[in-house]
Amino acid sequence: MLNLFKFISLRHLFLKPTRVLLTTLGIALGVSLFIAIEIINKSTLQSFKQSVEAISGKANLVITGPRVGFSSEILDKLKKFKEIKHAVPMVQTNIYFTNQNKLNENLVVLGVDLLKESSVRTYKTTDEEVMDDPLIFLNQPDSIIVTHEFAKRNNLGIDSKIEVATPVGIKVLTIRGLLTPEGVAKAYGGALAIMDIDGANYTFGRMGKLDRVDLILRESVDLESVKQNLSAFLGGAFEVQRPSENSKNMERLVHSYQALLSFFSTLALLVGVFLVINTVSISVVERRKEIGTLRAVGATKISIATMFMSEAFIMGLVGSFMGVFWGKLLSHQMVEMVATSMSRQYVTKISVTKIYFGLEHVLLGVVVGTLTAVFAALWPSIKASFIKPVEAMKKLDFNQLEQKSTLKIFYVGLSMLIYLVVSSYLGLGSKHKVLQYMSQGCTMIGSALVAPAIVTYLASLIKKTVKINLPLLKIALDNLIRFPKRTASNVTTLMVGLILVMMVTTLNKSFQTTLSNWFDRVFKADIVVSSSGDLVGFQTQPLAESIGLEIEEKVKGINKGVTNKGVYALRFTHFNMQGRQMGIKAFDKPDPSYDYAMLDIVDGPARGRVGEKLFNSENTIVVSEIFKAHINKTTGDIVTIETPTGSVDFKILAVVVDYASPEGIVYMSRDTYKKYWQDNLVSAYSLTVAPGFTVNQVRQDIDAQFGKSKSLMTVSQKEMKNNLLIEIDKSFSYTKAIEATALLIAFLGLFNTFMISVMERLRELGVLRAIGMEQIQLIKMILTEAFWQGSLGALTAIILGFGVSYIFIENDLSLILGWIIRFSFPWEVVGYVLLIGIFTGLVAAYVPARRAAQIKIREALEYE
């Protein structure tokens, strides 16, 4: 067996360097994307974990509560627990600093008790004190410590002043300390600042509030029992966790997102599989006589199969190593896009400063890449092993063989697609991970297997229905129909790549359309006012309630409606429920003319009735579809929410559509929210413009009166929608890399198969040249065939892409991501995909066509 490999396999690998190189490159590209996603997934999680560890320091347990904070009186209550040695409080908030380039820089501010901090966390510096003067620092509410890197980047130093947005307007903070990126300063990729807890609370208008308490327990106490006792004592609104549990929560939260990334990267790897299948299949056909001879001289079936698989193994191994190396480079390019996208989706800052690349990635890449190549070679190798010596010596009737096998393959593929439909309809993917992977596998493999038959059918259909006058087009189309297997070989890899492009663009389009339509239905305000920051992602500093009243009083042109109220507040925050971070949207009762437009009801009574009850009855809420799916409570049910003031039973009035959180959203009136959450802050104000005024006039008035002094930002309805769509686009920016990789592999596959098929047809082409076909005509003919293959491949990709995307988005996506997205087909991409298919076909065929045309007629006729 070793001899077969040594004397035959290796020789063949060296005899066909272009083919081997193209196949190896294809595997390398697939592995590179796969590994890049693995590296990014690990790096984002590790960075988050590092942030959690850096912030938790030496803490044994961490107490967190509602996102709006909780009373600092908890510290006194904790004194009764003798097991607690130190209880160190912290507040945490985001600030937005406008840098020299007029861009908003987001800093996470940790407000810590500097007189207790060293029990838990350490702040290091290289050559000077972290704080210039602790006495001054503590007594000045404007004191802030930033990292050296931040200070350097913005030309700042000790005693420099920075302007930041706070709930009570713009505040000037003074840098009184600098941190080197060690210990706590490593959290959030160094994008953080430290203030004294009182300074932070004073500056951000949160006196008496805490966001977390880190606990150091006395030695030899039972951590688990303390944790349980504390949980029972503090109630459900609080979470008592080991620091490592916090990382695990995040792991769970982003798991779905990472699963989607992995799904696409695996599909890209699958495109490479078809490349290998093609290469090995064609190699088997080319070497039939050699197989027959080997079998005749005693080679076993297993040794024949092993011979082909070992060739795939070599290509897989070399390609995998290349892929791992490229994957590392690719991860550097993509990581920022992915981290930004994740941060927006989970409203949690995720910064990746270090790429975690280790031996496990090398091993994973090599194992996955090599196994994929060997797996891809398995079927053609088995088929090779079953070739009988006598059959091998006979001339092969391709046509007969091809018709049979194409049909068989079609049925296998069809069965897979039927399974996919049934599985999605029954929601099997959610029942077990293996079933989910099976569905995903069926998507690509099933599509690829039915593709040849569809291509042949489409070609026949075109021939029958469209009158083609150009002889070249006609001959090329006939060739495609006569040799379905060859056509399939050429088209499959391209088509699989294009299906992936279709899926990614359909996903993006569906998100855009679903959110855009929802926005149009629920958003009726002309202007939204918030503090500077990212309003779409609700990453803004909350505002004081009084600001809304001031705007209402001082700004001209606000429509005050029948209630004489013109400015409506919205509070968006989070609370914990069954281990999930649910969102809350608390609204002021809208003007009757709004007709409760924000309630996009999918289950429940009429909007008006729900709205009246929501704003006039106590303890009533409306929940989002995904909340219903996660918590299993619907219209009419009672749900218990742990509020900062205790457990409260709320009646669900209706289920609505909302996309602010993939975990679930609860709507309530702001009066109810204020009562139970004890929080008067506002995330954004909305208003409509009175007749006789324009949106611009009112915005200018707000900007002039409050823009600078309160750091307020106004956004029109149109801008808000545009921003939303831009954000979605940004969230999908990383998919461009997936598309590009898939198309590149598809191109390599097509190029490879064109090279092979041209050589395969050399004799036929020689005959054509001998009977008078000119070189240029030959090139044109092959390019025309490529045109047909490209366009038919693209057309098949569009048809199959439509189907699998529909099934994926309507059924599987909500399981993976938690968003309920409606399928929307990107019609505008149809032309693009067709063009890409044709272009890729023509480019991939050009070199083989030229080579075929240049071969001498005599040599071509002698070619066997």
Partner 1 sequence: MSKIILTLFIFLQSIDAYALSADEIMKKNEEAKKNKNITTKAYLITGGGGKAQREKEFSWWRKLSSDTVHFKTLTRFHKPAEVKDEGVLFLEDKETEILIYLPAYKKVRRVETAQQSGSFMGSEFSYADITSHQREDYNYKLLKEEKCDAFDCYVIESTPKTEDVIEKTGSARGVVWVRKDNFVDVKAEIFDLEKKPWKKLVAKEIKMIDEANKKWMAMDLKMENLKTGRFTNLKFEKVDVTKIIPDSIFKKTSVGFW
Chain residues binding partner 1 by CB under 8 A are 86, 88, 113-119, 128-129, 131-136, 138-141, 198, 202
Q: Among 614, 611, 620, 625, which residue's Cα sits nearest to residue 657?
A: 625
The DSSP bridge partners found for residue 587 are 570, 669
DSSP 355-414: ----HHHHHHHHHHHHHHHHHHHHHHHHHHHT--HHHHHSPP-HHHHHHHHHHHHHHHHH
| Residue closer to partner 1 (CB basis): 134 or 389 | 134
Beta bridge partners of 539: 534
Distance in Å, CB of 182 to partner 1, minimum: 17
SS in 3 state form for 579-598?
Answer: CEEEEEEEECCCCHHHCCCC
Q: Residue 185's closest CA among 104, 99, 125? A: 125
Residue 28, both tokens:
């390398």
Residue whose CB is less far from partner 1, 57 or 826: 57
What are the tokens at 675? Answer: 């009562």
d(CA 823, CA 807): 9
Please name the amino acid found at residue 774.
E
Helix (H) or strand (E) holding 264: helix 243-286
CA distance readout (Å), 485 to 448, 455, 840: 13, 10, 20
Q: 115 or 232: whose CB is closer to partner 1?
A: 115
Instruction: Read off the tokens for 65.
Output: 């509560």
The residue count of the chain comes to 864
- Work out how close the CB of 118 gets to partner 1 at its nearest, in angstroms, rounded to a whole number: 5
- CB-wise, 151 or 758, nearer to partner 1? 151
- The residue among 461, 451, 460 whose CA lies nearest residue 494 is 451
- Between 129 and 764, CB nearer to partner 1: 129
Task: Tell me the C-alpha distance between 85 and 64, whole Å.
Answer: 18
Q: Which is nearer to partner 1, 117 or 534 (CB)?
A: 117
| First CA to last CA distance, the chain | 28
Q: How far is the CB of 197 from partner 1 (least distance, A)?
A: 9
| C-beta closer to partner 1: residue 79 or 556 | 79
Residue whose CB is less far from partner 1, 72 or 249? 72
Minimum separation from the CB atom of position 159 to partner 1 (A): 11
Task: Report the sign of the C-alpha dihedral through residues 538, 544, 545, 546, in that order.
Answer: negative
Least Å distance, CB 172 to partner 1, is: 15
Do 190 and 147 touch, CB atoms closer than 8 A?
A: yes
Name the residue nearer to partner 1 (CB basis): 140 or 154: 140
Q: State the CB neighbour count (10 A cutoff) for residue 692.
A: 7
Q: How far is CA 75 from its chain centroid?
A: 40
Q: How far is the CB of 138 from partner 1 (least distance, A)?
A: 6
Nearer to partner 1, 61 or 768 (CB): 61
In DSSP notation, 796-829 reads HHHHHHHHHHHHIIIIIHHHHHS--------HHH
Amino acid, single-letter form, for residue 314 = I
86 or 710: CB nearest partner 1: 86
- Choose between 85 and 708: whose C-beta lies nearer to partner 1: 85
In the complex, least distance from residue 36 CB atom to partner 1, rounded to whole angstroms? 44
Task: Compute the least distance from the CB of residue 195 to partner 1, in Å.
Answer: 13
Residue (of 733, 728, 848) closest to 789 by Cα position: 848
Query: CB 202 → partner 1: shortest distance, Å?
Result: 7
**Nearest to 519, CA basis, from 818, 723, 814, 825:** 723
CB of 213 to partner 1, least distance (A): 13
Q: How far is the CB of 113 from partner 1 (least distance, A)?
A: 7
Q: Which is nearer to partner 1, 132 or 552 (CB)?
A: 132
Triad 733, 537, 701: Cα angle to 5°: 120
- Residue 220 or 469: the one with the smaller Cβ distance to partner 1 is 220
- How far is residue 766's CA from residue 779's CA, in Å, rounded to a whole number? 13
